[in-house]
Amino acid sequence: MDCQVFLDRENCLIQERKTGKRLGIGVCHNELWYLDRRKTDKAICHALSAIANEDEAKVMLLHCRLGHISFDIMSRMFSEQMCKVDKCKLLCDACEFGKHTRTSYVSRGLRSVSPFILIHSDVWTSPVVSLSGMKYFVTFIDCYSRMTWLYSMKHKSEVLNCFKDFCACKTPGRYPEDTTRSVRILMIPRFM
């Protein structure tokens, strides 16, 4: 059904988009809009609204109040209420969205095979200035070990000094076999 809804302070009009035919009228009660079933054709009313009887509404309210527990568990806990409803009709959008999973990020293959070959870096602005006046910080992340160094700064212009300090003290005691190795690639965001 292709419809459009027009709202103002007193009226809610539902129309078919192509023909402009009035499909339904909404009435406002306690700052909520309800479909006026007296002024709307019964078949259209069923198409426009999700019909839930009073028992289903009570079960859904209980489901939400209990932290969206499964309807099977609710059947065991509240058998009196659940026997009055058809579980197939009970649908919860929040539970459906909660079951969706995000796809994992595709690896670009930029993983280093030894320490300090690839270093990721970024400069951040702190939302709160520290007591010592530090407003920015820079991170250096070794791609091989994921070890992170964090330097705080008063000004962004101090980044080069922080990088020099990072290069000077990056390996003592951490990777004894790589004490002579230097940083080959420094990855920084484009907008710096």
Threshold 0.85, pTM exceeds: no
Flag whether pLDDT at 171 surpasses 70: no
Q: Given 3.30.420.10, 1.10.1070.11, 1.20.200.10, 3.30.1340.10, which CATH number is that of 118-187? A: 3.30.420.10
**Interatomic CA distance for residues 11 and 28, integer angstroms:** 8
Q: What is the pLDDT of residue 31?
A: 74
Domain ranges of the chain: 1-51, 52-96, 118-187
Q: Model confidence at 179, in pLDDT bands (50, 70, 90)?
A: very low
**CA pair distance 15, 59, nearest whole angstrom:** 32
The structure tokens listed for 58 are 């009570």
The confidence score (pLDDT) of residue 138 equals 93
Q: pLDDT tens across 23-82, in order? A: 888 888 777 777 777 777 766 666 655 555 778 888 888 888 888 888 899 999 888 888
